[in-house]
């Protein structure tokens, strides 16, 4: 018979393993040996499963004769054997005992699952679900909670959230990633291997995941995320359902301002993307195609919008179009101006100086590179700030010798 005791006492080991003489083992089963309480319980728990009927019966009777105080002490002790803690978990209608077992870090996970399935006290289930690390390590506990009719709404909610967060969502993402790889869509597969896949309304649906996968084109090998120091992740905060809805509506209105009517398919894509959490939107901004970038460049979260500018597939023509947009953040326009490759394009810098959203210091820096004829038009452009008009006029007059 195997032993689950922690003792180094050779005599006790002999009793438990069956190598000790039968009279000695029977005496131990009857509780007649002078043992500390912790070692006595270890021996009794082991001997109750003895092949010897007499020893098994004696050990069971001795265990049943133990006082509640001694059993509660063992449930709380940090030197109790896992076998003893597992035995105690099988006891019903013992609230104090169950609470002690749940709180004892030495209690085996399977024993906690036993408590979760047997307890009739909903507060015990609520106490169990507070230890999410244990639930993740032993998902059988989650199933035991959900299978217990005594569970409270709070215990059920937390158990379901943990199962969804760490098991269902992970499994769904892995299945999507595997199928995308099989189809040769490596970039999309990489996205779903790292995405959180949560939205303002819960977990991203399979249908929405596949739609978004169609708009991912940049592989991890092409990414450079050095622009995003770890401390900036704090800006990717949790957003409310109302905030997601408002953000989606704002982008739809911005596209109407810029382009006129927005097709229903486009509106549907905007809503799907904008209801994703900020971290996933940031990754999509760096890996997405032009259609996805056109949505996320207008994201009110600066990190997300900045990620679009750091997407390696953004072309000069795309940067030129963004530079003319009056519905993007001023920080995006500032970044375009700082990009050395784009700053060599006259069309881009011309759009920047004419865009009232471009920060005035950025415009003032660019103005000396603007052609005289365009400076004259700019000095008369009522859509830009007075400071920009005046500076454009001064530069134009200086060049003309006035």
pLDDT of residue 168: 61
pLDDT of residue 189: 92
State mean pLDDT over 166-182.
77
Specify whether the CB–CB gap between 327 and 300 falls below 8 A. Answer: no
Going from N- to C-terminal start, the domains of the chain cover 184-314, 330-402
Q: Which residue has the tokens 């679900």?
A: 129
Element (H, E) at 157: helix 153-163
CA atoms within 13 A on the CB side of 144: 23
pLDDT of residue 8: 56
Flag whether pLDDT at 5 surpasses 70: no
Flag whether pLDDT at 6 surpasses 60: no
Flag whether pLDDT at 1 surpasses 60: no
**DSSP string of 293-348, one letter each residue:** HHHHTT-SSHHHHHHHHT-TT--HHHHHHHHH-SSS-HHHHHHHHH-HHHHT-HHH
pLDDT of residue 121: 94
State mean pLDDT over 199-228.
87
| Range name among 118-127, 167-176, 239-248 with the lowest pLDDT average | 167-176
Specify whether the backbone of 181 is left (phi greater than 0), alpha (psi in -120 to 50) or beta.
Answer: alpha
What confidence category does residue 169 fall into, taking pLDDT thresholds of 50, 70 and 90? low
Q: CA separation (Å) from 398 to 8, 349, 391, 395?
A: 96, 21, 11, 5
Specify whether the CB–CB gap between 25 and 18 falls below 8 A. Answer: yes
pLDDT of residue 4: 47
| Range name among 20-29, 112-121, 285-294, 356-365 with the lowest pLDDT average | 20-29
pTM above 0.95, yes or no: no
pLDDT of residue 171: 65
**DSSP string of 35-56, one letter each residue:** --HHHHHHHHHHHTT-SSHHHH
More confident residue, 377 or 230: 377
- Report d(CA 186, CA 219) in Å as an integer: 7
| Range name among 132-141, 199-208, 271-280, 304-313 with the lowest pLDDT average | 199-208
Flag whether pLDDT at 46 surpasses 50: yes
State mean pLDDT over 31-37.
86
Centre a 10 Å sphere on the Cβ of residue 83 and count the other Cβ atoms it contains.
20
- Report d(CA 64, CA 91) in Å as an integer: 11
Element (H, E) at 203: strand 202-203
Residue-level length of the chain: 402
Share of the chain above pLDDT 70, in %: 96
């Amino acid at each position: 018979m195997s032993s689950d005791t922690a003792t180094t006492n050779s005599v006790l080991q002999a009793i438990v393993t069956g190598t000790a003489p039968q009279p000695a083992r029977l005496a131990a089963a009857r509780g007649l040996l002078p043992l500390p309480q912790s070692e006595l319980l270890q021996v009794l728990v082991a001997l109750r499963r003895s092949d010897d009927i007499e020893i098994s019966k004696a050990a069971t009777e001795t265990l049943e004769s133990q006082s509640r105080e001694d059993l509660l002490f063992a449930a709380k002790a940090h030197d109790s054997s896992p076998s003893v803690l597992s035995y105690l978990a099988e006891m019903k209608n013992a609230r104090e005992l169950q609470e002690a077992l749940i709180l004892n870090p030495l209690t085996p996970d399977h024993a906690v699952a036993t408590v979760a399935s047997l307890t009739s006290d909903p507060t015990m289930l609520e106490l169990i679900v507070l230890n999410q690390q244990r639930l993740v390590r032993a998902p059988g506990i989650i199933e035991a909670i959900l299978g217990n009719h005594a569970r409270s709404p709070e215990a059920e909610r937390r158990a379901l959230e943990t199962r969804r967060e760490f098991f269902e969502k992970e499994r769904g993402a892995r299945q999507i990633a595997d199928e995308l790889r099989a189809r040769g869509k490596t970039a999309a597969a990489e996205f779903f291997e790292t995405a959180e896949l949560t939205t303002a309304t819960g977990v991203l649906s399979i249908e929405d995941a596949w739609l978004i996968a169609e708009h991912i084109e940049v592989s991890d090998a092409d990414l450079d995320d050095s622009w995003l120091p770890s401390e900036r992740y704090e800006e990717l905060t949790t957003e409310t359902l109302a905030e997601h809805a408002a953000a989606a509506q704002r982008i739809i209105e911005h596209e109407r301002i810029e382009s006129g009517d927005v097709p229903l398919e486009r509106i549907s894509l905007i809503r799907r993307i904008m209801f994703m959490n900020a971290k996933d939107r940031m990754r999509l901004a760096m890996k997405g195609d032009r259609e996805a970038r056109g949505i996320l460049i207008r994201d009110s979260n600066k990190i997300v919008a900045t990620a679009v500018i750091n997407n390696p597939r953004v072309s000069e023509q795309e940067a030129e179009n963004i530079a003319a947009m009056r519905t993007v953040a001023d920080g995006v326009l500032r970044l375009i101006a700082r990009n050395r490759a784009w700053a060599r394009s006259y069309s881009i810098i011309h759009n920047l100086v004419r865009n009232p959203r471009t920060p005035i210091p950025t415009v003032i820096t660019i103005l000396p590179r603007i052609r005289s004829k365009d400076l004259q038009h700019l000095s008369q452009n009522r859509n830009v700030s007075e400071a920009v008009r005046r500076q454009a006029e001064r530069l134009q007059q200086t060049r003309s010798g006035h």
